[in-house]
Structure 1
Amino acid sequence: MNEIARKLAPIAKDQAEAQYREAPNNLEAEQALLGAILVNNDAFYRVSDFLKPVHLNEPLHRKIFEVAGDIIRMGKIANPVTIKTFLKADEKVGDITVAEYMARLAGAAVSIINAEDYGRAIYDLALRRSLITIGEDMVNIAYDAPLDMPPQSQIEDAERRLFELAETGRYDGGFQAFNDAVALAIDMAGQAFERDGHLSGISSGIQSLDARMGGLQRSDLIVLAGRPGMGKTSLATNIAWNVAHAYEPEVQADGSFKARNGGVVGFYSLEMSSEQLATRIISEQTDVSSSKIRRGDISEAEFEKLVGFSQTMQKTPLYIDQTGGISIAQLSARARRLKRQRGLDCLVVDYIQLMTGSGKSSDNRVQEITQITTGLKALGKELNVPIIALSQLSRQVESREDKRPQLSDLRESGSIEQDADVVLFVFREEYYVKNMEPRDEFDPKYEEWKQKFESVKGTADVIIAKQRHGPTGTVKLAFQAEFTRFTDLADPSFTQYEEH
């Protein structure tokens, strides 16, 4: 028995020490940084782009750093005298007042040369504390095994929290100061001024559409809907390729890359295989019809054109996921992984009705669609990327004389219409007029039909039925059915925007 007790003694000691382990922090580094800032306010700007008050471990140090930052941003001097007014007068640090404590910090400061190193050390320790919190939560939830959180849900939740931590250095969300939001808005305006086309969003590559939408706005859920045969998938692949092909990376101060123009695109193709999608894009860009490519009915010159373009495609940051019936949770997890590993600036989902919700299978499809659209909107905000989600329209369009789609035509439309920031309908009158061709070419109505067909041939309407940031209306585009390609109309007189 004594032998067992002797062997268990070190284990018990280790467990006792583990229970009282202090979260990683460096009080001296925090003191040194604050001292440097109080002596020379320039030290604040060496760390302010990555270090926030929440990253400091000591509550008093957080308050001093926050107040000092506010004073410095207002163009005033932050020192022990100006800061003490904003702190509690009766608060003490041991036997001395807070004012005396700040005076000591300033007195002990030597220079601001090492301010950034101190800031980095504090930031890294804050990340480690956050990792410990996430890890402890994972362990506790796994032990408790709550019924409403199966293991797969726990994995997705942990991955989401880790992604937020990797992207922003914190994962607790919460309120954002209005002056921070204003600064972001000004930055966005500056980027729009420098970007090609002066767009606040990412260019879709179709100028007449960009002119009305200002590009694809980050964090927006853009629903692109249409009846079968209207070309909604074609328009989505056109935009996806244009964005990826225009990608120009820009190196940031921390060594990461950011898109100056264009962007990295993730394409969820739930309906078509990656090979079919690639064939479409090749056809669009090489003027070789996809039917000829599939049959192998191409000339040597066309084959060389295909090979040449395939080399261009290999360098283009367009990533395709062809998993059918993917859930919103799986889609979100894969999108986070793509952004973390390769970057992500735009996401395309083809299409909403082929996705599944994250919960149990439900007979109520409307509730499931609500869960999907709410999840897509939340994902767009989390990743700060525009999400283009394709959607079907109900058959009631076909029963009307006027086939132009309306918001009420969206299938399970309540949540789609509500959650979307932008709703676009693709409408090709040519498709319907062609089906009305009289069988007898000597029919008196044949000439009338022919004139009507010629007037709509090769054109398409993109109806902006909803837009939070601008007006609704219709943009006329050219459509080449053979190559499934949407472009701006060559004749500027046709590019007039019809506002509603």
Structure 2
Amino acid sequence: MSGDSIAPTPPQNLDAERSVLAAMLLNRDIVDEVVARISAEAFYRPAHQKIFSAMCELTERHTPIDHLSLAERLEARGELKEIGDKAYIIELANNDYAIFNWEHHVDIIKREKLLRDLIRAAENIKSLGYSETDDAAGSIEQAEKMLFDVTNQRIEKSFTDIEKLLGDSVAMLEKMAQNKTGIMGVTTGFTDLDRLLSGMRGGDLIILAARPGVGKTSLALNIAINAARSGAHIAFFSLEMPATQLTHRILSSEASVDNSKLRSGNLNAADWKDIIDTCSKLSELKFSIDDTPGLTITELRAKARRQLQKVEKGVIVLDYLQLMSAGGNGSADRWIAVGDISRGLKILAKELDVPILALSQLSRNVENRPNKRPQLSDLRESGNIEQDADVVMFIDRSLSEEEAEQDNRPPMGMGRLVVGKNRNGATMDIDLVFDNAYTRFRDYYRPQGM
């Protein structure tokens, strides 16, 4: 008898995989739900991975999914014969019962994928243990990261309503009266900006860019909260900062409690009263945060559609654009990948008829020149950002007393919103006050006669 052992079959459930693919074929709405919960890699059988990826491509192209369009897409990818030809697709489509239990079957696929990843991590950790190295601490760190990457998948990242983030220990206040300013779109809460843009309008892609540390996340949160107060539903995608940290920033800004106090927990009785009162008011807002890292445009689209498809007035905020994953174009030139992402955001804004406020980094060029005022050419990694955007705004703020003393620089405590592109109107500079302690921007009211 041979001493060679046969490796056991990795965890998998092909019936569940077939059922989920069949449900996606039978019901277009199920596609977005599935894409928001699993990726192609979750399927064990390579043929099923290819079918799932082809369905995602059809969805991105706004092509209806049926057995004919799916077969055509797979043939164009050179994969039709690999998956079992048209006969296999027809077999999937004939499973009418799949639409009833697809959610349970998605959970099965996720569980089996998690177990396979755990096995793979264990094998890699075993190899680390046998490797001859003097850096045992480094090996342990690598092993911990491998396990963390697996266990982190157990937490299904999705929207968390701000009411739960803030807590519902305080009573709900009466809903704010409807906005009566006559603004065509959703208000930003900043008088001069609303006057220039007539509000944020459905279908618009609005880019907000700035140097690191200038306050683009703070301004985006200020705008989002102001929009929520006007009755808009906010879908805030945070690819950089956890939802809890964003919540602290919102509390600091809205309750006028020093952000350093919130970070340290050194709060007095007056601070607690302000926080509780603010929580009560904010709990009424339709404001949700998704802090899933590395989202692809397909995943963002699926989650946004699920969150906003039945609301009358919605806004999507993305922080920030360059942290999005290119998905299938991960190995492509970053310039092209970011261009694809910005184009995808513009298409999504039009499809859902909502404004998208997308934050963006600036290139290092602005740091290397004496004049720190940002300009359109500073947009990082892709000229397509400017091309796709309806509005491009920059935050210009001095980060030191020395910088503030230079010619044409904003004084300390002030910010300048540079509207560098406005597809439907004029461009201009808008002065704002920046309250650093509360990470808050607000309108600047000029003294009369100035």
The aligned residue for residue 457 of structure 1 is: 412
User: What's the CA shift for 1:132?
Assistant: 7.0
When normalised by structure 1's length, the TM-score is 0.55
Change (3 A) 1:371 1:424: same
Alignment of 1:470 with 2:371, yes or no, is: no
Matches within 5 A, 1:10-409: 150-152=51-53, 154=55, 157=58, 196-247=180-231, 263-340=232-309, 345-409=314-378
> Using the alignment, how far apart are the partners of 2:313 and 2:327 within structure 1?
23
- Contact 1:338/1:344, CA 8 A, preserved across alignment: no
- Offset, 1:212: 1.0
How far apart, in 2, do the equivalents of 1:492 and 1:211 lie?
19
Cα offset for 1:490?
A: 2.9
- Offset of 1:314 from its aligned partner? 2.0
**Structure 1 residue identity aligned to 2:441:** F
Q: 2:216–2:359: 8 Å Cα contact kept in structure 1?
A: yes
Using the TM superposition, give the Cα deviation of residue 479 of structure 1 relative to its aligned residue in structure 2, in angstroms: 0.9
1:163–1:340 CA contact under 8 A, matched in 2? no
User: RCO higher in 1 or 2 (8 Å CA, sep ≥ 6)?
Assistant: 2
Partners of 2:336 and 2:382 within 8 A in 1: no
**Contact persistence 2:395–2:416 (CA under 8 A):** yes
User: Which blocks of at least 5 consecutive residues in structure 2 are unaligned?
Assistant: 1-24, 33-45, 66-177
Provide the secondary structure at the position in 2 that maps to 1:385.
coil
Which residue is equivalent to 2:84? none
- Residue by residue, what CA displacement relative to the aligned partner does 1:345-392 show, whole Å, maximum 9, x if unpaired? 100000001001232412410111011001000000000000000000
CA contact (8 A) 2:339 2:382 kept: no
Structure 1 residue identity aligned to 2:247? A
Deviation at 1:471, TM superposition (A): 0.7
- Structure 1 outlier segments of 4+, above 3 Å: 131-135, 145-150, 155-164, 340-344, 449-453
The runs of 5 or more residues in structure 1 that have no matched partner are 1-130, 139-144, 165-193, 248-262, 438-448
CA contact (8 A) 1:269 1:321 kept: yes
1:279/1:133 CA distance change after superposition, 3 Å: closer
Aligned to 1:480: 435
SS of the residue 2:383 aligns to: helix
Distance 1:133 1:325 in 2: 27
Cα distance change of structure 1 residues 491 and 369 upon mapping to structure 2, 3 Å threshold: same
Q: Deviations over 1:221-273 (max 9, x none)?
A: 000000011111111000000111221xxxxxxxxxxxxxxx10100011100
SS of equivalent to 2:309? helix
- Contact persistence 2:314–2:355 (CA under 8 A): yes
Identity of aligned residues (%): 39
CA contact (8 A) 1:156 1:333 kept: no
2:320 maps to 1:419 = no
Task: Name the larger-Rg structure.
Answer: 1
Tell me: CA distance 1:415–1:231, structure 2 relative to 1, closer, same or farther (3 Å): same
TM-score (norm: length of structure 2): 0.61
SS in 2 for 1:212: helix
Whether the 8 Å contact between 2:233 and 2:313 is mirrored in structure 1 is yes
1:283-315 deviation line (CA, Å, top 9, x unaligned):
001110111111011101211221221122222
The Cα of 1:340 is off from its aligned counterpart by: 3.3
Q: Deviations over 1:27-80 (max 9, x none)?
A: xxxxxxxxxxxxxxxxxxxxxxxxxxxxxxxxxxxxxxxxxxxxxxxxxxxxxx
2:240 partner SS:
coil
Q: Is the 8 A contact 1:159 1:333 kept in 2?
A: no
Cα distance, 1:491 vs structure 2 = 2.6
Structure-2 separation of matches of 1:374 and 1:146? 30
Deviation for aligned residue 1:156 = 7.6
Hey, what's the Cα distance between the residues in 2 that align with 1:156 and 1:245?
A: 37
